[in-house]
Amino acid sequence: MTTATEDLLGYEDLPALLTRMTGDEKHEPSATSTLDVLWVLYDRVLRVDPDNLHDPARDRFLLSKGHGPAAYYAVLAAKGFFPTDLLDDFGSYDSPLGYHPDRTRLPGVEISSGSLGHGLPLGVGVALGLRAQGFPDARTYVLVGDAELDEGSNHEAIAYAGATGLASLTVVVVDNRSATHGWPGGIGARFAAHGWSTATVDGRNHRALESALTTPLPGRPHVVVATVEDKY
Amino acid sequence: MRETFVAGTTAILDEDPRTALVLADISAAAFEPVRERHPDRVLNVGIRESLLVGVAGGLAQTGLRPIAHSYAPFLVERAFEQIKLDFGNQDGHGVLVSVGASYDNAQAGRSHHAPGDVALIDTLPGWEVRVPGHPDEVDPLLRHAVGGDGSVYLRLSTRSNDGAHAGTDGRLVPLRTGHRAVVVAVGPMLSAVLAATVGLDVTVAYTNTVRPFDAAGLRELAGATGDTVILVEPYLAGTSARVVDDALLDRPHRTLGLGVRRVDLHRFGTPADHDDAHGLTPDALRHAIAGFLLPR
């Protein structure tokens, strides 16, 4: 697989990478709500990089909330999963960078997403598959949006993962209060009712995100609710 | 057929650590012994069909060969978007095995009837569709499906012919030869078709494989009958008419698609009652087949 040969970029380079995709200095909320979470995951948490993309024991990151993928593409490019030149052609017919990510087109993308409510059930299956094949240290991370949680398929997965103590699974909910009917009592409570360990942190605070993402409780799946600015 | 599937899948799970089974309560008791031996590879997610297929898709992403099993309408119709996206769009593959068919449990009503399952699967690229007509055809088809690496839909039924008449090669098997039409009997429809065509000058060919369809075999058989083709399928009428048209694209031909009609009966009763309502009894089939033959 071809990977970028240029030097790896830093957090401070991400705005310029985003601008290459959107052509606009002011970025859509859906594209930037996930930016800090994604950066912390790829910079400090995930055991995956362009050199171990096919290692069966790597960590898996599944971006379920596939819309507004510019931040995801910017972080993957900064980390060298593909050349930054690809950003300039974002969304064209020949580009591997669609308005929703496609795992068959772009190195580092673990799932093709778009339709909401698929990443978490898939993530449960991935975590179970890794466990069945003897990779106990491989963690599976799934990023969903708070509005995406409205999809019922997520709740099938939340209930099952909690009931069976699927401890290698971590869900990150980026909460910008865009769910039409909200989550009374908080999103964490919804997971906690099914036995998940939970943490709710400032989704722009890198240290807090890293701490929350790396301290799951044993024997339980883990959710980190990353709170960011309101979408509207 | 379900018993054969349970025994075969149990053996496969014991033999091959690459395989996994995902259930949504249906048939869970029958698989409990093998679940106890392989708790990481035999997974019952509860009554959650979206999750059933999503989990199977996730297992495939890690390199396992998943078998997902439930009642046909819940597996294919309720979880259809998961089949479309969590397998195909991920470039992932697995084996779906359903029971219930079009109206095996007639008394349960429309909720438990899935005459449209094969037509739905047929909207997706690359799926094999296997429709065994006898329990003895199930195990070879199951092993062939799980042993491969593509996506396969295996449609089981309580309806059955008097014996096994095809293996796993997907070829049309001519059982009778005539001159005025080729009647293609799919899966459990064979017994009724054989009874319906007694004394008619038609070829009867059997298959348990409708995708991919044996186009070459059909061209050969149809050519000897004036390119008159009659499909008798145990699900939605006309489901395979498009593949017949594709197979005979360069030759004038006539096609009649018989099967379950597009009507919601709101009736219960027995499968035989529903055969009657859909024109799938031997007498009704004979009338439809004879009526489609051109005058000599």
Is position A113 within any domain? yes
- Which residue type is seen at A16? A
Q: What is the dihedral of CA B7, B13, B16, B22, to 10 degrees?
A: 130
ipTM of the prediction:
0.95
Which has the closest alpha carbon to A149: A199, A185, A204, A187?
A187
**Substitution target from B13, B19, B35, B59 for chain A, most A beta carbons within 10 A:** B59
Which has the closest alpha carbon to B2: B142, B192, B148, B191?
B142
**pLDDT at A5 exceeding the cut of 50:** no
Whether B191 contacts chain A with CB within 8 A: no
**pLDDT at B20 exceeding the cut of 70:** yes
Is position A11 within any domain? no
Question: Which band of pLDDT confidence, cut at 50, 70 and 90, is reported for residue A32?
Answer: confident
**What is the bridge-based pairing of β-strands B173-176 and B203-207?**
antiparallel
Which residues lie below 8 Å from residue B158, measured CB to CB, with a gap of 6+?
Answer: B1, B2, B99, B101, B104, B271
Torsions phi, psi for B210 (to 5 deg): -105, -20
Separation of alpha carbons A142 and B68, rounded Å: 23
Structure confidence at residue B71 (pLDDT): 98
**pLDDT at A3 exceeding the cut of 60:** no
Whether B45 contacts chain A with CB within 8 A: yes
Separation of alpha carbons B80 and B116, rounded Å: 12
CATH at residue A112: 3.40.50.970
Quick check: B156 and B97 in contact, CB under 8 A? Answer: yes
Structure confidence at residue A26 (pLDDT): 64
Q: What mean pLDDT is predicted for residues B129-153?
A: 98
Q: How far is CA B109 from CA A33, A60, A131, in A?
A: 47, 43, 40
Q: What is the tally of structural domains in chain A?
A: 1
Is position A54 within any domain? yes
**pLDDT at B226 exceeding the cut of 80:** yes
Query: Which domain covers residue A132, as residue numbers?
Result: 31-227
Instruction: Please tell me whether residue B176 adopts helix, strand or coil conformation.
Output: strand
Structure confidence at residue A29 (pLDDT): 66
Whether B91 contacts chain A with CB within 8 A: yes
Is position A22 within any domain? no
pLDDT in tens, B155-184: 999 999 999 999 999 999 999 999 999 999
Runs of H (alpha helix) within chain B: 2-15, 32-37, 49-61, 72, 80-82, 117-121, 135-147, 190-196, 215-223, 241-247, 271-277, 282-292
pLDDT in tens, A155-178: 999 999 999 999 999 999 999 999
**pLDDT at A23 exceeding the cut of 80:** no
Which has the closest alpha carbon to A69: A45, A98, A92?
A98
Question: Which band of pLDDT confidence, cut at 50, 70 and 90, is reported for residue B60?
Answer: very high
Quick check: A119 and A62 in contact, CB under 8 A? Answer: yes
Is position A116 within any domain? yes
pLDDT in tens, B65-110: 999 999 999 999 999 999 999 999 999 999 999 999 999 999 999 9
Q: What mean pLDDT is predicted for residues A41-53?
A: 96
Is position A10 within any domain? no
Separation of alpha carbons B253 and B244, rounded Å: 9
Determine, for residues A125 and B91 on separate chains, whether the beta-carbon distance falls below 8 Å: no
pLDDT, averaged across chain A: 93
Question: Which band of pLDDT confidence, cut at 50, 70 and 90, is reported for residue A6?
Answer: low
Instruction: Please tell me whether residue A158 adopts helix, strand or coil conformation.
Output: helix
Is position A92 within any domain? yes
Q: Which DSSP helix (H) or strand (E) runs through B236?
A: strand B228-236
Determine, for residues A121 and B43 on separate chains, whether the beta-carbon distance falls below 8 Å: no
pLDDT in tens, A63-114: 999 888 999 999 999 999 999 999 999 999 999 999 999 999 999 999 999 9
pTM, rounded to two decimals: 0.95
**pLDDT at B36 exceeding the cut of 60:** yes
Instruction: Please tell me whether residue B73 adopts helix, strand or coil conformation.
Output: helix
Q: What percent of chain B has pLDDT over 70?
A: 100
Is position A4 within any domain? no
pLDDT, averaged across chain B: 98
Q: How far is B40 from chain A (nearest CA, A)?
A: 5
Q: What mean pLDDT is predicted for residues A208-231?
A: 94
Contacts of B46 in chain A (CB under 8 A): 159-160
Tokens 């008159």 appear where? B228
Structure confidence at residue B22 (pLDDT): 98
Burial of B159: CB neighbours in 10 Å, binned 0-12, 13-18, 19+: buried
Beta bridge partners of B71: B99
Q: How far is B87 from chain A (nearest CA, A)?
A: 10
pLDDT in tens, B114-123: 999 999 999 9
Provide the b/e sequence for B25-36 (b: ≥16 CB within 10 Å).
bbbeebbeebbe
